[in-house]
Amino acid sequence: MTTTSAPHQPPAVDRSLARRVTWATWTGWGLDGFTNQMFPLALSGIIAAFGLTTAQGGLATSAALLSSAAGGVVGGRLADRFGRVQVLVLVICGYALFTGLTATSRNFESLLLWRTLEGFFFGAEWPVGAALMAEFAAPERRGRALAWVQSAWAVGWAGANLSYLLSHVWLPDTVAWRVMFAVGVLPALVALVIRRNLRDLPRKRTAPAAADAAPGNPRKKGAFAELFSPGLRKVTVLGTLFGATGLGSTYAMQTWIPLYLKDERGLSVSSTALYVWFMIVGNWLGYVLGGHLHDRIGRRWAFTVFYLGTAVFGFLFMAIPVDALWYNLVLALVVGFFIAAQASGKGALFTELFPAHARGTGAGITYNVGRGAAAFSPALIGWAAAGSGLGMAIVMVVMACTLLTLLFIWLMPETRGRVLD
């Protein structure tokens, strides 16, 4: 006699609470975009203020990304143990503090310290917010729901670009970057206000079966042991490799484009800002529309389309310069679209791979340890630029990362429509 169990049904969700969670996580990602994208825009002023080399500028970027790996793992684990909302509030407070302190840097060493500590809290934001939002989203709409939340990154980037433009109107490069980071504290206050009166979605707790309670069972040892147990080890490792190579491509483009436009294209502050505005518009469209494609054709095919698009149009933008302004602005918009569209599915993918009791930890490892490995991408480009030029160094790293990313995504399971416990 064969028995079948009823399919797992998602818990009923208070739609009013779900809307508040959506906007709360949206503001968190917007804050991430605002403060993170300020650094590439401010990098030329920081280099001038402290007399740094391009390699040192890349190191400062990489330090924040490396510490974000630890922050993501710690933040995700704390969220699994103590709840998503409570940890999110703590993360925002830490993020705001060290963003403000970055403005007070007196030398390269203090800049490196504040950037490293800010990176820790920056890393903790993503897995906590992603786990919270994924648990409130309907399975068939999870890709677009998380993509919409991630679209706040483009809005935050727009705020950073506006701050960059306005601060440089009245102040020299060596001072304007400090004002930008001081202003970066304000969005954190808005995020904290919006996060009031939120609560986690209750998760059904069942009594463990005899096999679960056995001494050798990985769940008995904790979330980390389970993530690297035979049942989850493959997706944990492949997800981390996918996160590393995918983010390596993203950081190669986003970190160095402002400096590339200024130094190799010879653009002014206002002209650089114009290019970035077009990238931001494309970025927002990529997040919103990319999520729909992830839900329609699945994670694997959507990632394939978007990473190939980033590589092709990134090559045209960086390696084949054309003097026509309209052509370059259209390319900037298209590159921004594909960079965001490839990122739009990561929130859904990395939360769909893991069970509820290890979801924050799993997302923290796959995304943020991957981010830590990807941190070497900006530093590598800064080093390679001395020999091949900044534009060509960016292209080489993007191409290598794209090939590896496509390999890893096709080795991973398709998770579209998966119901979360």
Task: Assign 3-class secondary structure to the chain.
Answer: CCCCCCCCCCCCCCHHHHHHHHHHHHHHHHHHHHHHHHHHHHHHHHHHHHCCCHHHHHHHHHHHHHHHHHHHHHHHHHHHHHCHHHHHHHHHHHHHHHHHHHCCCCCHHHHHHHHHHHHHHHHHHHHHHHHHHHHHCCHHHHHHHHHHHHCHHHHHHHHHHHHHHHHHHHCCHHHHHHHHHHHCCHHHHHHHHHCCCCCCCCCCCCCCCHHHHCCCCHHHHCHHHHHCCCCCHHHHHHHHHHHHHHHHHHHHHHHHHHHHHHHCCCCCHHHHHHHHHHHHHHHHHHHHHHHHHHHHHCHHHHHHHHHHHHHHHHHHHHHCCCCCHHHHHHHHHHHHHHHHHHHCCHHHHHHHCCCHHHHHHHHHHHHHHHHHHHCHHHHHHHHHHHHHCHHHHHHHHHHHHHHHHHHHHHHCCCCCCCCCC
Residue 165 has pLDDT above 50, yes or no: yes
Give me the pLDDT at residue 286, please: 92
Percent of all residues in the chain with a pLDDT value above 70, rounded to a whole number = 87
- b/e per residue 27-56 (b: at least 16 CB within 10 A): bbbbbbbbbbbbbbbbbbbbbebbebebeb
How far apart, in Å, are the Cα atoms of 257 and each of 70, 347, 381?
A: 27, 25, 12
pLDDT at 97 over 70: yes
What's the pLDDT band for 420 if we cut at 50, 70, 90? confident
| Residue spans per domain, the chain | 15-193+231-411
| pLDDT of 111 over the 70 cut | yes
Give the CA distances from residue 295 to residues 29, 201, 345, in Å, rounded to whole numbers and listed in that order: 21, 23, 9
Residue in this structure with the two tokens 């045209």, named with its chain if needed: 316
pLDDT given for residue 3 in this prediction: 39
| pLDDT band at residue 377 using 50, 70 and 90 as cut-offs | confident
What is the architecture, at CATH level 2, of domain 15-193+231-411?
Answer: Up-down Bundle (1.20)
pLDDT tens track for 22-31: 777 887 778 7
Rounded to 10 degrees, what is the CA torsion of 168, 171, 172, 176?
Answer: -70
**What average pLDDT is seen over the chain?**
80
Average pLDDT over residues 106-132: 86
Residue recorded with tokens 């694997």 = 300
Residue 323 burial (CB < 10 Å; 0-12/13-18/19+)? exposed
Condensed to tens digits (0 to 9), the pLDDT of residues 314-372 reads 888 877 777 777 888 888 899 999 998 988 888 888 888 888 778 878 888 888 777 77
**Tokens 């191409």 belong to residue:** 399
Over residues 381-401, mean pLDDT: 81
Task: Pick 309 or 222 by higher pLDDT.
Answer: 309
Rounded average pLDDT over 177-201 = 73
Distance CA 30, CA 20 (A): 15
pTM above 0.85, yes or no: no
User: What is the reported pLDDT for 113?
Assistant: 93
Residue keyed to tokens 């494309």: 282
Q: How far is CA 387 from the centre of its chain?
A: 30
Region 61-79: mean pLDDT is: 82
Structure tokens at 270: 């206002």
Flag whether pLDDT at 413 surpasses 60.
Answer: yes
- Average pLDDT, integer, range 214-218: 46
How high is the pLDDT of residue 282?
92
Q: Kindly report, residue by residue over 219-248, the tens digit of the pLDDT.
A: 555 667 778 888 888 999 999 999 889 888
Of 307 and 369, the one with more pLDDT:
307
- In the prediction, which pLDDT does 39 show? 84
Q: Range with the lowest mean pLDDT among 124-128, 174-178, 275-279, 402-406? A: 124-128
Closest-CA residue to 313 (of 297, 302, 329): 329
What pLDDT shows up at residue 312? 93
What was the pLDDT predicted at 170?
A: 83
Confidence of residue 304 (pLDDT cuts 50, 70, 90): very high
Would you tell me how many other CB atoms lie within 10 Å of the CB of residue 308?
15
**Residue type at 170?**
W
Phi, psi dihedrals of residue 14, rounded to the nearest 5°: -70, 110
User: 353, 365 in Cβ contact below 8 A?
Assistant: no
| 100 has pLDDT over 60 | yes
- For residue 152, name the pLDDT band (cuts at 50, 70, 90): confident
What's the whole-number mean pLDDT along residues 97-111?
A: 90
Residue 338's nearest CA partner among 241, 413, 240, 246 is 246
